[in-house]
Chains A and B, each alone.
Chain A
Amino acid sequence: MAALTRFAGSEFADRNGLRPIAERLLHRAASEAVRTGKSAGRAFAPLGELRKRSKLKPREGKPSDAFDLTPTEDQQMMRDVLRRFARESVRPAAHDADMHPERGAEVLEAAGELGLTVDVIPESLGGTAEHREILSSVLMAEDLAWGDMGLALAALSGRGFAAALTDFGTVDQQNRYLAAMAEEDAPVAALAIDEQGPRSNPSHPQTRATKVDGGYRLVGTKVMVPMATSADLFLVTASVDGEGPTAFVVPGGRAGLTRTAARTMGLASAQLGTLEFDGVMLDGSTRVSPEYDHARLLDLAKLGVCALAVGTAQSVVDYVIEYCNEREAFGEPISHKQAVAFMIADMATEVDGMRLTTWRAAARAERGLDFHREVKLAHILCSDHGMKVGSNGVQLLGGHGFVRDHPVERWYRQLRAVSILSGGLVA
């Protein structure tokens, strides 16, 4: 509610005519709070007040529930806001942020004002979550990525960090960090999962945490980390000898941690970078709770990547429809040619298939059902067809698609990341 209030009063909401929507959201949140007798404003608990780890329950679902593709009213309102934001603020900034990543700052700040994190943080810690919102994460990622995949990744990396701590953080970590994530001037946070090397497998991190007196000593390298050089906090996956994979909360300025910006094929606007841990000393409190489920974290991260792919691929489809209707050759729009039109028909069909498989995995996850198979299937489709859509997007514009005046070459570069990126954004 705190975040919503900020949003309703923000300059962005005003400028974009979103105040009525924000006020409606706020009204809902307020009436919820009254109904349940809770005041979200009281929840900025000082460190140590809570004794128990907060854990969000899955959304209630019954086996008799209907097959349905209708978002909830809250989800729809959020979509309306984010689609507009993506169209009016993110897309216009995308080109510049791709060339000069630091120029994405303004739009990321505006995204921060939208309160993109509060609904994965429990009410007791200042958020608005009544249950673990996973579909909402997917819809948000899809809608923001329509504007720009890299900026979406950067804007939502904090949400992913918060979601992961909501699921797996210790009581101390939740009190310390989640409460802060729900506040104004929330820290910038990101996940560090991917590692260098053509055969790296995120299930078995090569980054090692060795037990030493008073905690752990962290050695290893993480790559493709969003906001790598500027983030205040990272959740870093690592293997502990004899125990297998786990994760640690590591502040950005820790001694022994070297952060460098990376230059990659695409996604410059996500400010990807490399984290080198050269014997970083961590005390025991930085390790996530014993309930940590590495496979679940990776699956939720994959889900986030799928959602980014769906939104980006949809933007390709929407763009080529407009372009091919306007571009004339041989005396008529090129969209009058079956060779062109059928490509577009296939692209739209495959994107919808990507979307539905992603939604299915997300809806299962949100209800507490096993979703590993479903997210794998979605990821295969998003990797293969996402890239194909990106490639066809360039193809349909011909030589114009190859120059950076049009966004399709950027989407082509970004969509290549889908099959590679394991981390970044936890749904």
Chain B
Amino acid sequence: MISLEIPRRLRGVATMARDVAQGMFRPISRKYDRAEHDYPVELDSLRAIVDGMAKGGSSIGATEIKREKSERKGVRNGKNMAAVLNVEALCWGDLGLLLTIPGQGLGNAAIAAVATPEQKERFDGKWAAMAITEPSTGSDSAAIRTTARLDEATDEWVINGEKIFVTCGERADLVVVWATIDRDQGRAAIKSFVVERGRPGFDVVRLDHKLGIRASDTATIHFTDCRVPRTNILGSEEIQTRKGFAGVMQTFDNTRPVVAAMAAGVARAALDRTRELLRMEPRWRRPRWQLDATEAELQRLEAELEAAWLLTLKAAWMADNNQPNSMQASMAKAKAGRMANEVTLQCVSLCGALGYSEDELLEKWARDSKILDIFEGTQQIQQLIIARRLLGKSSRELR
């Protein structure tokens, strides 16, 4: 039966996350925006809370959101739904800090999705970053050049290459590295490998200075004959021309709604604060053209947020109910990314010099939000995915 309300059980989960956002993130939000590259030590205590929340059946980030086989009949509001609710609430607090919660890296999502039981045990409790992008390879992740060669003599993979834009690259215990095991075989030969920090040949050579999300470290990592055990490959060693890469890309169907939720949280924060500063309660009863320009704009922005948020919930709901959701995940991400950027920028503008000042967080959110339309697939990549689905086109036809 159609209902677009959040069930009570999950509302409680989101309330807890909102408390963390308000009580832990907001007070240190500006501090780590200014102190870029300093590790937010306050977050160490968060690890215990996160573990507690995970035990209570709700995941705080992308870690646990692989698809579950449905045992019960009926509609599920499961881990995907819980994840987007948590993330939305936490990002109302601070996006940069969310991205650097210990133990909640994107690499953890990849491990949770495809690791063997033996690997899961070995990497349990570790914080895992994800290294995909290279200096000359952004959205076109099938073109990566980092190589992994199997040394049969020692039963080790030997990794060589350069990775950039690695979120938590300096702070994480592990990095999941995408590398090709045969450059001539294209995407099918791309595999992911778990590399533990501190292995010889693993060097963090640079931390980026960024427009926003400065609390979160973004590293460049060089791999020079970096050796890892053969058992550190995630998934099969075989080159399956048909399935391999598609399997890797499928992870994004689960993580894109989470990024959309981040966007919803940041936008909500900016709208809430703007209404506080302007002392404008919504006047829903008035016709649109009877409102002053500021109130009319705030209502329009709230409508855009509502659309993005419901698209996000839809994509998560589909994932929870084992419905293919590639297109809907991309729709949520595309809409939410552009929405959050527009909303936060407009809120700065509506609040004038106060919005532009570092005395308020509005300018920070407007800087932070830009990444949401870029990482986990840019706006344009999402449009490509949506358009190919709608139009029934292959990646060769619609390039």
Residues of chain A whose beta carbon lies under 8 Å from any beta carbon of chain B = 61, 63-72, 75, 135, 199, 201-203, 295, 317, 321, 324-325, 332, 335-336, 338, 341-342, 344-346, 348-350, 352-354, 356-357, 359-360, 362-364, 367, 369, 372-374, 376-378, 380-381, 383-384, 419
Q: Does B276 contact A (CB under 8 A)?
A: no
| Contacting residue for B289 out of A75, A199, A363, A381, CB 8 A | A199
In the bound complex, residues from chain A placing their C-beta under 8 Å from that of B75 are 66-68, 70
Binding site secondary structure of chain A: helix
CB proximity to A under 8 Å, residues B302-344: 302-304, 306-308, 310-311, 313-314, 317, 328, 331, 334-335
Other-chain contact of B287, A61, A75, A203, A344 (Cβ < 8 Å): A203
Find out whether the CB atom of A345 lies under 8 angstroms from the CB atom of B289: no
Q: How large is the interface on B (under 10, 10 to 19, 20 to 34, 35 or more residues)?
A: 35 or more
Task: Tell me the minimal C-beta distance from B139 to chain A in angstroms.
Answer: 13
A63–B290 alpha-carbon span in the complex (Å): 35
Chain B 375-399, CB within 8 Å of chain A: the 1/0 string? 0000010111011101111000111
Known: A356-B307, A360-B310. A67 touches B3 (CB 8 A): yes
| B242 interface residue (CB < 8 Å to A) | no
Q: Do A349 and B334 have beta carbons less than 8 Å apart?
A: yes
A72's contact among B1, B5, B9, by CB below 8 Å, is which? B1
Q: Is the interface of B mostly helix, strand, loop or mixed?
A: helix
Chain B residues 264-315 with CB under 8 Å of chain A are 282, 284-285, 287-290, 299-300, 302-304, 306-308, 310-311, 313-314
Complex contact A380–B383 (CB within 8 A): no
B285 and A67 contact, CB distance less than 8 A: no
Known contacts A199-B289, A349-B311, A378-B303; can you find 15 more A-B pairs with CB under 8 A? A63-B7, A65-B7, A67-B81, A68-B1, A68-B3, A72-B2, A203-B287, A317-B390, A348-B331, A364-B4, A374-B306, A380-B299, A380-B300, A381-B303, A384-B303
> Of A71, A72, A345, which is in contact with the most chain B CB atoms at under 10 Å from its CB?
A345
Chain B residue nearest to A382 in the complex (CB) = B303
Q: Which of B9, B306, B311, B388 has the most CB of A within 10 A?
A: B306
How near does chain A come to B244, taking the closest CB pair, in angstroms? Answer: 26
B77 at the interface (CB under 8 A from A): yes
Distance of A54 Cα from B279 Cα, bound (Å): 44
Residues of A within 8 A of B310 (CB): 353, 356-357, 360
Interface centre among B8, B9, B386, B387 (most CB of A within 10 A): B387
Task: State whether A357 and B303 are in contact (beta carbons under 8 Å apart), knowing that A65-B5, A345-B390 are contacts in the complex.
Answer: yes
Q: When the two chains form their complex, are residues A341 and B398 in contact, meaning their CB atoms are under 8 A apart?
A: yes
Determine the chain B residues whose CB is within 8 A of the CB of A71 once the complex forms: 1-2
Question: Does B287 contact A359, Cβ atoms closer than 8 Å?
Answer: no
Q: Is the CB of B392 within 8 A of A373?
A: no
Interface residues, chain B, CB within 8 Å of chain A? 1-9, 74-77, 81, 282, 284-285, 287-290, 299-300, 302-304, 306-308, 310-311, 313-314, 317, 328, 331, 334-335, 380, 382-384, 386-388, 390-393, 397-399
CB < 8 Å neighbour of A342 from B314, B387, B399: B387
Q: Say whether A381 contacts B334, CB under 8 Å.
A: no
A135 to chain B, nearest CB (A): 6
Query: Is B397 a contact partner of A336 (Cβ separation < 8 A)?
Result: yes
Cβ–Cβ contact B285 & A203, under 8 A:
yes
- Tell me which of A68, A199, A349, A383 contacts B386 (CB under 8 A): A349
B residues in contact with A324, CB < 8 Å? 391
Q: Contacts A67-B77, A345-B386, A349-B334 known; A357 to B6 CB distance under 8 Å?
A: no
Contact call A372/B290, Cβ cutoff below 8 A:
no
- Name A347's closest neighbour in chain B (CB-CB): B390
Q: Judging by beta carbons under 8 Å apart, are A335 and B391 in contact?
A: yes
Report how far A405 CA is from B388 CA in the complex, Å.
28
**A345 and B387 contacting across the interface, CB-CB below 8 Å:** yes
Listed A/B pairs (29) with beta-carbon separation below 8 Å = A61-B3, A63-B7, A65-B1, A65-B3, A66-B76, A67-B3, A67-B7, A67-B81, A67-B317, A70-B1, A72-B1, A75-B2, A201-B287, A202-B287, A295-B285, A321-B391, A325-B392, A338-B383, A344-B391, A345-B390, A348-B331, A349-B335, A352-B314, A353-B311, A353-B335, A359-B2, A374-B306, A376-B303, A381-B306
Q: Contacts A356-B307, A381-B307 known; A68 to B317 CB distance under 8 Å? A: yes
User: Nearest chain A CB to B312's CB is how many angstroms away?
Assistant: 10
CB-CB under 8 A for A64 and B8, given A69-B317, A345-B390: yes
| Closest Cβ neighbor of A385 among chain B residues | B307
B284's partner among A354, A364, A376 (CB-CB below 8 A) is: A376
Given that A321-B391, A348-B390 are contacting pairs, would A64 and B300 also be in contact in the complex, using a CB cutoff of 8 Å? no
**A66, B10: Cα distance in complex, Å:** 10
Asked if B387 and A341 sit within 8 Å, CB to CB, the answer is yes
Q: Least Cβ distance of B87 to chain A in Å?
A: 16
B3 touches A356 (CB 8 A): no
Q: Residue B4 contacts which of A64, A67, A341, A354 (CB distance < 8 angstroms)? A: A67
Instruction: Give Cα A203 to B284, complex, Å.
Output: 12
- B307 near A363: Cβ-Cβ < 8 Å: no
What residues on B are CB-neighbors of A75 within 8 Å?
A: 2
